[in-house]
Chain A
Amino acid sequence: MANPLKCDLCSKPATVHLTQIVNNKVHKIDLCEACAQAKGVTDPSGFSLADLLLKASLNPEAATTGVRCEQCGFTQTDFKKHGRFGCPACYETFKGILEPMLDNMHKGTVHTGKVPQRALERKSLYDRLTKLEVDLSDAIKSERYEDAARCRDEINQVKQSVATKPSR
């Protein structure tokens, strides 16, 4: 006899089986009585299968790998618990577990919409500034004074550009 299906959230025997078709992709989820109640599955207008898929796709064994976001301290276990990330940098930290989920969750896996042009220009200026400051400090340490002077001039130029673009 085949093994009975287990709840995707708590591993108890599943009694509620959901299927949703989004953009011709079939998503299936199995839940026990208690998890189905807790997630509001008994009221189909009030729950999001996307959120359930998100949590169910994280298996408990993988959650012990101990990956932690350097920016905010968020862990994979926190993600499993909340179904939300801690900060924008988590998207890079948890790239490996996120990618397989996106395919089920969205129409595509790559953004094709609006691009915040001004914010990106400003970000690239800040990134350039950070790199030049490191270069300047290296040049001074190794007594390459001509390079240091060039870095200093470039830093001044970039700072002027940043000042003309309003920021936070």
Chain B
Amino acid sequence: MDIATLIDSPSELTDSAGSKTAIVLMTRVRLARNLDRRSFPGWANEQDKAAILETCRAAVASAPAMRRGLNVALADLSDLERQILVERHLISRELSGAKSGAGLVVSRDQAVAVMINEEDHLRIQVLRSGLQLKRAWNTINDLDSNLEERLDFAYSPTLGYLTACPTNLGTAMRASAMMHLPALVIAGQMEKVVRAVNQLGMVVRGLFGEGSDASGSIFQISNQTTLGEAEEEIIKRLGSVLQSIIDHEVNAREKLIESDAGKLFDKIGRAYGILQNSHMLSSSEAMNLLSLVRLGADLGVFPAEQRSIIDRLLIEAQPGHLQHAQRGECDPSQRDLLRAARLRTEFANFGRPEFSPSRNGNN
């Protein structure tokens, strides 16, 4: 599979038909692994990194889950192609900036992606639409066990998997969910949620991880600690934290409808109007408008099945995807025109809104 084929294929993230919990857009589990007796990527010289890249690419690409997938060196990709991979959450921003010695192997369905020579030699990640923590863990555990047959991982019986940063030590696992929490944001309760989640040993971040903002009221919640607790326990604990956030978001939605349905429907209606008629839309404005329309789909203002269209647009309205569709790079103001045109076309055929407080709560 080549990069062009991958870009033109639907990704796990854009196919949310299987998602049962609208509030969780995506689940991700990531494992960091390093080869024993080799310098970590941040300290290895270019020659070592090239050798590690070759060893890891061959081992990962021959695992059954990765056969006939994409197997590339980052150096062989254009800036635009890298950006598309970031927008699909297949690589991190850090890896997209790597000049040499970095690589990527992605499964055909884009549910499994393995970054090579990011902060660690291997960063294995499994993405699943909706809330599917256990399924994602089972998939990644199988792949990891398969790789273990071919690669000697750096491991200590007391400290677990050894990683470049001691904050990832132990299981070296980060399990996360990308959550859509517009009602908690509108009600001004996110700060309280972040504080409570921190106290439970979990972290809240923006859409693209550390340092990113939370456009579109989308947040990533993941485990903070990795040592002293088994993988299954971390997943179970994260699962219960996520469920509690889901309950809070559902309650916040119900309260907003009860206390001020007019104000909420006004926000959703205006967002729909702008998406149908605007001619200039920035990336973050589009995200915020799509977020409101998505909330509308959850509340029954729009048919629920149209949520998958919105989820696809949340990806496709981003700069990399827009420029790819246009077959070339263009400046930010041209992109804003393109984005608005794309969204106008989509929303011309979108289901008509039906505002009725009695239709709420399909979560």
B149 interface contact, C-beta 8 A: yes
- Which chain B positions have C-beta within 8 A of A47? 210-211
User: Of B144, B204, B231, which one neighbours A45 at CB under 8 angstroms?
Assistant: B204
B300 interface contact, C-beta 8 A: no
**What total count of A-B pairs have CB within 8 Å?**
167
Please tell me if the beta carbons of B43 and A46 are within 8 angstroms of each other in the complex: no
- Which chain B positions have C-beta within 8 A of A85? 40, 43, 164-166
A interface footprint on B179-192 (CB within 8 Å = 1, 0 otherwise):
00000000000000
User: Of A72, A83, A114, which one neighbours B39 at CB under 8 angstroms?
Assistant: A72
Chain B residue at minimal CB-CB distance from A23: B201
Interface stretch, picked from A1-9, A60-68, A119-127, A129-137, is: A119-127
User: From residue B192, how far is it (CB to closest CB) to chain A in Å?
Assistant: 13
- Which chain B positions have C-beta within 8 A of A83? 165
* Given known A48-B167, A89-B37, A106-B170, contact A119–B225 (CB-CB < 8 A): no
What is the CA–CA distance of A117 and B152 in the complex, to the nearest angstrom? 11
Q: What is the interface residue range for chain B against chain A?
A: 35 or more
Chain B residue at minimal CB-CB distance from A74: B43
User: From residue A49, how far is it (CB to closest CB) to chain B in Å?
Assistant: 9
User: From residue B37, how far is it (CB to closest CB) to chain A in Å?
Assistant: 7
Interface stretch, picked from B73-81, B154-162, B313-321, B323-331, is: B154-162
User: From residue B95, how far is it (CB to closest CB) to chain A in Å?
Assistant: 16
Other A-B contacts than A45-B212, A118-B145, A120-B155, 14 sampled, CB-CB below 8 A, are: A45-B213, A87-B37, A87-B38, A87-B40, A88-B36, A101-B166, A110-B158, A110-B228, A112-B230, A113-B171, A116-B153, A116-B155, A168-B59, A168-B151
User: From residue A116, how far is it (CB to closest CB) to chain B in Å?
Assistant: 5
The number of chain A residues with a CB under 8 A from chain B is: 53
A86 interface contact, C-beta 8 A: yes
- Which chain A positions have C-beta within 8 A of B38? 87-88
Please report B residues at the A interface, Cβ cutoff 8 Å.
Answer: 34-40, 42-43, 55, 59, 119, 141, 144-145, 148-162, 164-167, 169-171, 173, 194, 198-199, 201, 203-206, 210-214, 224-231
Please tell me if the beta carbons of B227 and A107 are within 8 angstroms of each other in the complex: yes
What is the CA–CA distance of A22 and B165 in the complex, to the nearest angstrom? 18
User: From residue B200, how far is it (CB to closest CB) to chain A in Å?
Assistant: 8
What is the CA–CA distance of A86 and B165 in the complex, to the nearest angstrom? 9
Please tell me if the beta carbons of B171 and A107 are within 8 angstroms of each other in the complex: no
- Which chain B positions have C-beta within 8 A of A21? 198-199
Please tell me if the beta carbons of A107 and B212 are within 8 angstroms of each other in the complex: no
User: Of B149, B159, B205, B230, which one neighbours A118 at CB under 8 angstroms?
Assistant: B149
